[in-house]
Structure formats: C-alpha cells, structure tokens
Structure 1
Amino acid sequence: MPSLAAHIPAVPGSGIRRIYEIAAELEGVISLGVGEPDVPVAPHIAEAAKAAWDRDDTNYSANGGILPLRRAIVDKLAAENGIEADVEQVWVTIGGTQALHLAMQLTLTAGDEVLVPDPGYTTFTMNARMLDARPVPYPLTEERGFLPSIEELDALVTPRTRMIIVNSPSNPLGAVFPRHVLQQLLEFARRHDLWILSDEVYERFTWGGPHVSLAALEAQSSDGTERVFSVFSFSKTYAMTGIRIGYLVTPSGLAATMRTMQEASISCVGMPDQFAALAALQGDQAHVTEAAAHYRTNFEAASAALRERGIRYLEPTGAFYLWTDVAHATDGDVAAWAERLLLRERVAVAPGSAFGRSGEGWIRLCLAASRDDLLAGIARLPAPEVVAGEAS
C-alpha cells in the first residue's frame, strides 16, 4: 500500500486515552482519568436540541454557525470576558479541540515551531505534529508555582518560532495565570512577533481569583496588532462533552479565510448542537454555579483525604483537576504505573507524563466525579509510608 505522510508517525498517542480505552474493557472501574463532568446536562439545553430534531432543523448552517448563536457568543464575550468582537470573528467549532487545530492550521507550516506548556494538554503537541510543525515545551515547574518564566521562554525562541500556546485555567495543573503574568506573556509575544493561542476552556471554574482573557488585555494595551486566537468550549462549562461544540475567536479581518477553512474541514457544526449551545448561553446559569460548587467541595474532600495519607498535591486555583504527586510509587515511569494501578486496583487516573516530560511522577485526578468514587479512588493510591515499608 502507499505510505502515509512522512511526519504522521511522529504524532504521539494520547496517554490519557490509552488508560480510558483499557478501562472501557474492564468492569468496576473508578474513573478519575478523563475530564468528564458527572453532572447531567441541564434540561433546557437538552430540550433545545430535541426541539431542533423534532422540527427537522437538520440542514446546513453558515460555515461560522447560526447567526443567533454567534450573536449570543459576541454578547457573552463582551459581558464576561471583556472581549469586544464582531460576529465575523466568532466561529462555531466541533468542540474546543477543532478550534485549537483550526488556529494552528491557520498559522503554522511544516518546520515551524510552537511553544507549548509542559505539563500541558496533550492535543497541543499532537496538533503541532499533525501539521509537521515542531512543539517546543516550555516548563511549568513546582518551584515557580507552575507559572512560566519569561527568561526561559526568551531562550527557547528561534527564527522558526511562530506561536505560543497559553492555557489558563490550566489542564492538567488547575493553575490560573494572574493578570501580570498574562501581561508579560503578551509583551513577550509582541517582542518576538508571535501568535498567541489562548485556551480558555475552563474559564468558568476559578477559585479565589478572576479569569482574565488575553484578548481583553491585548485590546487594553494594543499597539494596533492583533495576535490572539481565543478558544472556548461548552463541553466543561455546561457538561456537554459529547455534544462537541466550542468556538474560536480570531483576530479581525480573517472572515473570508475562515469560511474557506471551515468549508474544507467540517462545513459546519450540526444544527441541533448549535441550538443546544444557544440555549446554554441564554438560559439560567444556576446549574453552572452549582457544578462549580460541587467541584470545589469535591476538592476539599479529596485534598483532605490526600493530606491524611501523606500524598502531596498542587493546590488548584481553577479547572476541576487535582495534580497529585505519586513519584514515591512510580519508579520513574508513571505511565506504566498508571496501567498497573488500573489493572490491579480498578482506578483510572491520567498519568502526568501524558502532559509532557515535566509531568513524570505526577497524576491528574478529575474532581468532576461522584464524591464516593473520588474518595474510594484516592483510598487505593499508595501512600508514601506504605511504599517505604514495602521497600524496607
């Protein structure tokens, strides 16, 4: 048979999905690995999708999405994110995942380099490799509170660097970048003339501090150049992960190009899905507030259980994950250890190495699970004193 494109073998698999797929073949698994909200979709959202099916509203839409949804997103961006966008800057996508890929398709060519957070969401690296571009990790280390160092970023820039990806609130870390850090990243991108891809999928889940959108900061201190692509999603906010709908907010002046890109890749998002998203934005937001409170109380219960067992974790300031240190048990290979944990203890966790080299020895626990499952899963993690006792 003919060969695949030469760069395709370099696309890494997802360490998260590997655990997920093994778990799917087993019974009695406690699932703490995938970022899947345990709350149901709100009834008014489901009813809007059902109504679209019932009235046979199942035809094509414009490439960017139905106009009422795009207008509702424009209103939301202004009210909640401080982003003043035109409808032609808003493009409805198949989840935040397609929005990420679309922005990278627009800006990266073969051999280009993109700065990706390490630890960072797996798709950042996978997308870059799919485009025959080179992902260059920038470390987010415990010593700096998992925030980026501008000096280290400066040292990573080469003539081929085209973009930096910023993810706040962070998946997997749960870190929210303060305004001054985002301002520094914006200045860094200006100094090196880079695009910024801002992943803000977990915007509604922050603890103690506000979420700040990079595009809003850019508008406040703009030099006249727009360089920020912003990615949002309905998946986590509204527990709509399987409905697959998000949106990309582009710099101005790209409407004609975006129509071509959307037509060539997906044409448009399904109409019932778009009506569900419209209902999500325009309906009562109480279920989002309740979900956020649920995730936070889950964190409090989980962190207490981890402290009691002497297992270290990063205090999250956003998202719904708990970055947990299990280096005492993993013998330098957390991915292999996570598979053994799944097979022996029936607990699925995301190995930290799936998010980059800096994640070795850590796991990501999803707090968007039932309280009972979360605590039962933590109870099956090996505590440091138990491991030490086994080794002696």
Structure 2
Amino acid sequence: MAQLSPHVRNVPANQIREITQAAWATPDAVVLSIGEPGFPTPPHILEAARATLDRDETGYTPNAGIAPLRAAFARHAGAASGMDISPERVFITSGAQQGLHLALSLLLDAGDEVLVPNPGYPTFAMTAKLLHAVPVEYPLYPDNGFQPRIEDIEALLTPRTRVLLLNSPSNPLGAVFSRELTRSLVELARRHDLWIVSDECYEAFTFDVPHVSPLTFDGDAGERVITSLTLSKTYGLTGLRIGALVMPAGLEQVASTVMESIVSCVASPSQYAALAALTGPQDYVANASAHYRANRDAACAVLDGKGIPYLTARGAFYLWADMSSVTGGNVRAWTNRFLKEESVAVAPGTAFGSIGEGWIRIALCGDRAELLEGVRRLPLPGHPA
C-alpha cells in the first residue's frame, strides 16, 4: 500500500479519546473524561432547524454564512468586547475546530511557529502540525496558577514565530485571564508583530470573574486578533457543528477562498438553529452555568474531604486535580488502570502537555450524582488505586 504523508503518520493519538472510548466499552462506567453538555436542546432551536428543512432551504449559502447569523455573532462579540464589530468581519464555521484550522491556515506557512499553551487543548498542536507548522509550547506552571507569564512567552520567540494562541477560559484548566493579563498579551503580540488566535469556546461560563476577550484591546477594525467562537458548549450544540471567526477587517475575500476549498459553507439548518440560539431565549445558558458552578462546588467539597489538591475552576466546566502522589509518574497509564479497577474515566493531564503529568481533568458538565460517585472513587493521596 502507498504510504501516508509523514506529517499525518506522526500525529500522536488523542489521549482524551483513548480513555473515553475505553470507558464507552466498559459496562456501567462513570465517564468524566469528555466535555459533552447533557441538557436537552431548547425547542426553539430544534424548530428553527426543522423549519429550514421544511421550506427546503438546503442549497449553498455564502461561504461566510447567512447574513442574519453573521450579524447576530457580530452583536454577540461586540457586547462581550465593548467594540463595534461589523458583520463583515464574521465568518461562520463548522464548529470551533474547523474555525481553528481555517484561522491557522490563513496565518501559517510551512516551518512557521505557533505558540500554544502547555497544558492546553491537544488539537492546537495537532492542527499546526497538519499545516506543516511548528507548535512551540509556552508553559503554564502550577506555581503561577497555570496562567501565562509574559517573560516565558518572550523567551520562546524566534524570527519564525507568527501566531500566539490563547485560550481563556481554559480547557483543561478552568483558568481565566484577568483584564490586565489579557491586555499585556495583546501588547506583547503588538510589540513583536504576532497574530493572536483566541479560542473562546467557554466564554459563556465564568464564575465570579469576567470573561475578557483580546478583541477588547485590538482596535475598532481589528489589527491582529482572530477570535474563535462556538455554540457547541454555550447551547449544547456539539453535533450541529456551528461556530464563527471574528477577524480583522480586510480578510474577508481570502477567508472565503480558503473556506471554499475546505467545506464551501456550513449546513443551512445548523446556521438557522444557531441564529435561533443567539437571538432567542437565553434560559439554557443561565441554567447550564448554574449547573456547572454547583457541580464544581460539590466536586471540590469531595476533593477537599479527601485532601486532593486542585486548581479552583474560574471558568469552563472542568476541574484540574493533582493526583501525582498516586500516579507513579505516568498519569496516562494510571487513568487506564483506574478505569479498569474503579470503572471511572478521567482525562490524563498529559493529554494536554508535559506539565500535565500527574494531573487529571474531570468534566463537570454531566449528572451531579454520577460526577460525585466518580470523584469519591479517587484514591486518597499516597494510596494508589
């Protein structure tokens, strides 16, 4: 058989999917390894998708998406950033992951470097590699609350550095950037003429702290920030694959050309469902946020009782817990043993980078009783499962 491209053969396995698929094959397993919202989709969103099919609006849409949805995303991004965002700057994508691929396709050439967080979501580096670019990890250390430090990022810059990828609220950490840190990161990019790609999948879910978008500091027409938004987490629409990029003015034509070569356009029922989500009742978002906060607090209480250290989640719907006293220096292997012995799946911290060794990510988005049952089965510090 002819060989696949080396850059595809060398893409590492996704450890999140590895443990989750093993859990799905385990009878009665408690699955806390994947972030899948569990609430029913609001009826008005489903009706909007059905109505699109009923009127047979199933043809191509513009590459950038239907005009009402672009305008709705522009209003949404403008309200979040305090900026006046033109709908022409909004490009509808097939979920955040395709949006990330599109954004990096516009910015990176073979051999260019993109700065990605460690720990950070694994597809950041995977996408860069698929584009023949080089992911360079900037560290997020426990002793700094897993927040980036400007000096650590500047130390990694080379003449090939093109993009700084940011993620706040963070998956897997639940960390949220302050306004001051966000401003400093945009200023760093401006000093060194870098693009910023800001993954804001979890923008709707912060607890006692605000979400601050880098768009806030990027000027009226945008200068160097591309923001990736999605409705997958906000409204539980993971299967509809709907998101958006907010780009600096002037990139519309090239983005349309690149989009045409990838997927042409997003499915029209998904676009009208998204329009209904953004413009209709917002009860789902408020209820989901309250549920995630309550799940976080309940899970933290169990961890406190066990003496297991963790990072207090200020956003998203994950809890980042330190199990290094029991994992023996190989948290990936430990999570697989834990699943076999206790029928609980958690994501190994190394799925998100080397600094995640000894840590686990616990998804907070599901049923509370199941969540607490899984957390209760975690071994006490110094007592391997």
TM-score (norm 2): 0.97
For 2:95, give the aligned amino acid: G
Contiguous gaps of at least 5 residues in structure 2: none
Q: What is the alpha-carbon distance in structure 1 between the residues aligned to residue 269 and residue 83 of structure 2?
A: 27
Contact persistence 1:121–1:172 (CA under 8 A): yes
Please state whether the residue corresponding to 1:172 is helix, strand or coil.
coil
Match of 1:357 in 2: 354
The answer to whether the aligner puts 1:88 opposite 2:88 as a matched pair is yes
Match of 1:109 in 2: 109
Q: Deviations over 1:311-348 (max 9, x none)?
A: 11100111110001111111111111111112221111
Q: What is the alpha-carbon distance in structure 1 between the residues aligned to residue 316 and residue 138 of structure 2?
A: 21
Q: 2:303 aligns with which of 302, 306, 315?
A: 306
Q: 1:375 aligns with which of 369, 372, 378?
A: 372
For residue 11 of structure 1, report the CA deviation from its aligned partner. Answer: 1.9
For residue 225 of structure 1, report the CA deviation from its aligned partner. Answer: 7.1
For 2:304, give the aligned amino acid: R
Contact persistence 1:82–1:213 (CA under 8 A): no
Q: What is the alpha-carbon distance in structure 2 between the residues aligned to residue 88 and residue 63 of structure 1?
A: 12
For residue 7 of structure 1, report the CA deviation from its aligned partner. Answer: 2.0
Match of 1:138 in 2: 138
Please state whether the residue corresponding to 1:219 is helix, strand or coil.
coil
For residue 88 of structure 1, report the CA deviation from its aligned partner. Answer: 2.0
Q: 1:345 aligns with which of 342, 345, 349?
A: 342
The answer to whether the aligner puts 1:316 opposite 2:321 as a matched pair is no
Q: Which moved more, 1:49-58 or 1:210-219?
A: 49-58
Match of 2:38 in 1: 38
Contact persistence 1:194–1:227 (CA under 8 A): yes
Q: What is the alpha-carbon distance in structure 2 between the residues aligned to residue 337 and residue 205 of structure 1?
A: 30
Contact persistence 2:119–2:172 (CA under 8 A): yes
1:157-236 equivalences under 5 Å are 157-219=157-219, 226-236=223-233
Q: Which moved more, 1:320-329 or 1:2-11?
A: 2-11
Q: What is the alpha-carbon distance in structure 1 between the residues aligned to residue 151 and residue 191 of structure 2?
A: 13
Contact persistence 2:96–2:230 (CA under 8 A): yes
For 1:161, give the aligned amino acid: T
Q: What is the alpha-carbon distance in structure 2 between the residues aligned to residue 83 and residue 236 of structure 1?
A: 23
Q: What is the alpha-carbon distance in structure 2 between the residues aligned to residue 146 and residue 65 of structure 1?
A: 36
Contact persistence 2:326–2:383 (CA under 8 A): no
Q: Percent identity?
A: 52
For residue 385 of structure 1, report the CA deviation from its aligned partner. Answer: 4.8
Please state whether the residue corresponding to 1:91 is helix, strand or coil.
strand
Q: Deviations over 1:156-175 (max 9, x none)?
A: 00111111101000110001
TM-score (norm 1): 0.95
Please state whether the residue corresponding to 1:40 is helix, strand or coil.
coil
For residue 83 of structure 1, report the CA deviation from its aligned partner. Answer: 3.4
Q: What is the alpha-carbon distance in structure 1 between the residues aligned to residue 173 and residue 124 of structure 2?
A: 15
Q: What is the alpha-carbon distance in structure 1 between the residues aligned to residue 292 and residue 44 of structure 2?
A: 22
Please state whether the residue corresponding to 2:165 is helix, strand or coil.
strand
Q: What is the alpha-carbon distance in structure 2 between the residues aligned to residue 210 and residue 360 of structure 1?
A: 29
Please state whether the residue corresponding to 1:196 is helix, strand or coil.
strand
Q: What is the alpha-carbon distance in structure 1 between the residues aligned to residue 32 and residue 24 of structure 2?
A: 13
For residue 216 of structure 1, report the CA deviation from its aligned partner. Answer: 1.6
Match of 1:292 in 2: 289
For 1:136, give the aligned amino acid: V
For 1:104, give the aligned amino acid: L
Contact persistence 2:326–2:382 (CA under 8 A): no
The answer to whether the aligner puts 1:281 opposite 2:281 as a matched pair is no
For 1:108, give the aligned amino acid: L
Q: Which moved more, 1:228-237 or 1:33-42?
A: 33-42
RMSD: 1.4
For residue 108 of structure 1, report the CA deviation from its aligned partner. Answer: 0.8
For 2:105, give the aligned amino acid: Q
Match of 2:71 in 1: 71
Alpha carbons of structure 1 residues 342 and 11: separation in structure 2 relative to 1, 3 Å? same
Alpha carbons of structure 1 residues 225 and 286: separation in structure 2 relative to 1, 3 Å? closer
Q: What is the alpha-carbon distance in structure 2 between the residues aligned to residue 345 and residue 81 of structure 1?
A: 44
The answer to whether the aligner puts 1:334 opposite 2:346 as a matched pair is no
Please state whether the residue corresponding to 2:232 is helix, strand or coil.
coil
Match of 2:4 in 1: 4
For 1:218, give the aligned amino acid: D
Q: What is the alpha-carbon distance in structure 2 between the residues aligned to residue 89 and residue 214 of structure 1?
A: 15
Contact persistence 1:93–1:99 (CA under 8 A): yes
Equivalent pairs, count: 385
